[in-house]
Structure 1
Amino acid sequence: MHVEKQILELGGSTDQATREMLQSVLNKKRKYDRYKKNCFKWQMFTLFGGLVYFLYVYQFIVVPNGSNIGYMLGELVGSVLHFFVVLLLGSGYATARYYKKKEEKYEKEYHGLRTEIIRKSSELWPQPYHWKKRGEVYDMMKKHYDINLYFESK
C-alpha cells in the first residue's frame, strides 16, 4: 500500500498500524470525493441536457403546431434524433444514479473509519507524550487532506 509522504513523516508520533489507518481513511476520502465529483458532473449533464431538449421541443415543436397534439406526438415519436436524445438523457440519469450509490457507499465507509480513529485515539496514542503528538497528527490531517479527526459528526 502506498503511504503518503506527510503520513510517513509522522514517524515517532504514530506507530505503523496508526499510519495505515490514517492512509486508509485518506484513500476512502479520495474515493468518496471522486465519486461525488463524478455524480455531480453527470447530474449537471442530465439537468442541462434535459433543459435544452425541453426548450428545443417547446420552441420547435409545440409553438409552431399550436394545439395539434397528434402532430406534436408524431414529430416526437417519429424522429430518430429525438429517440437518441432521450436515450442519451436516460443514460446520463442512470450514470448519475450509479455514481450516487457509489458516493453514498464510500461516504459511509469513510465516516465509519474516521469515527473509528476518533474513538480509538486513546489506544492509538496511549502515553501522555504521544497524546500531545495526537494533536499534531490531527492538525496535519485537517490541513493537508481536509479530514477532521477532532469530532465524530460530519
Structure 2
Amino acid sequence: MDKVRLTLDEQVDEATKKMMLHLIERKVKYDHYKNTHFFILSFFILYCLTLLFISYPLVVVPKGNSIINSITALLGTNHLIFLFLLGVLLFGALKFYFEKKEKAETEFHDLRCEIIEKSHDIWNEEHWSSRHRVFDEMKKKYDINLYYESK
C-alpha cells in the first residue's frame, strides 16, 4: 500500500486516495471470503464423501434392499447421527460464507466501477498520462483492473 500511496500523493486529491485505499481493503476482504468459502467447500465435499464411505458398509449393505430398514438403522446409530448433524453444520457455514463472499464481491465491483466511471474527473488533463501508471500498479500488486468495468 505504501507504493500506491507514494504514487497517488503526486497526482490525486485526498478523497481519491481514500477511495483507492478503500478499494484495496474491499479487494482484500473479498479475497478472504472467497478463499474461506473455497476451503469450506472443499472440506464439505471431502467430508460428505468420507461420510458416504463410512455409512454405506455400516448401514446400507447389511440391511439389503429395504430403504426403511436402512433409515431405521441409520437413526439408531448415535455416532452416525452426530456425523450427519456435523455435515449440516458445515453446509450452514458454507452457505453463510457464500453469501458473505457474494456481498463482498458486489461491494468491491460497485466501487471499482465507480472509480472507472469517475476516472475522467479524478485525473484531469495534466495527470491523465500518469493514470495508466497507477492503474498498472493496481493491476500488478492487487489484481484490481481499473481499465474496464467487466469482471
Q: Kindly state the Cα deviation for residue 68 of structure 1 after the two structures are TM-superposed.
A: 4.7
Structure 2, unpaired ranges of 5+: none
Return the alpha-carbon distance in structure 2 between the equivalents of residues 139 and 70 of structure 1.
63
1:61 aligns to what? 59
Return the alpha-carbon distance in structure 2 between the equivalents of residues 114 and 69 of structure 1.
53
Return the alpha-carbon distance in structure 1 between the equivalents of residues 102 and 68 of structure 2.
44
Q: Kindly state the Cα deviation for residue 57 of structure 1 after the two structures are TM-superposed.
A: 1.5
TM-score, normalising length from structure 1? 0.91
Q: Kindly state the Cα deviation for residue 69 of structure 1 after the two structures are TM-superposed.
A: 4.2
Return the alpha-carbon distance in structure 1 between the equivalents of residues 135 and 28 of structure 2.
17
Name the count of aligned residue pairs: 150
Write the deviation string for residues 15-71 of structure 1: whole angstroms up to 9, x where unpaired: 221111111111111111111111111111211111111121112222233235454
Among candidates 8, 20, 45, match of residue 5 of structure 2:
8
Return the alpha-carbon distance in structure 2 between the equivalents of residues 116 and 70 of structure 1.
58
Structure 1, unpaired ranges of 5+: none
1:80-95 to structure 2, matched below 5 A, reads: 80-95=78-93
Return the alpha-carbon distance in structure 1 between the equivalents of residues 34 and 148 of structure 2.
22
1:20 aligns to what? 18
Q: Find the residue that maps to 2:10 and give its secondary structure.
A: helix
Write the deviation string for residues 75-100 of structure 1: whole angstroms up to 9, x where unpaired: 21011111111111001000010001
Q: Find the residue that maps to 1:30 and give its secondary structure.
A: helix
TM-score, normalising length from structure 2? 0.93
- Larger mean CA deviation between 140-149 and 66-75 belongs to 66-75
Aligned-residue Cα RMSD (Å) equals: 1.3
Return the alpha-carbon distance in structure 2 between the equivalents of residues 13 and 39 of structure 1.
38
Contact 2:55 2:80 in 1 (8 A): no
Return the alpha-carbon distance in structure 2 between the equivalents of residues 101 and 70 of structure 1.
36
1:46 aligns to what? 44
Return the alpha-carbon distance in structure 2 between the equivalents of residues 107 and 70 of structure 1.
45
Among candidates 73, 77, 80, match of residue 79 of structure 1:
77
> What is the aligned-residue identity percentage?
37
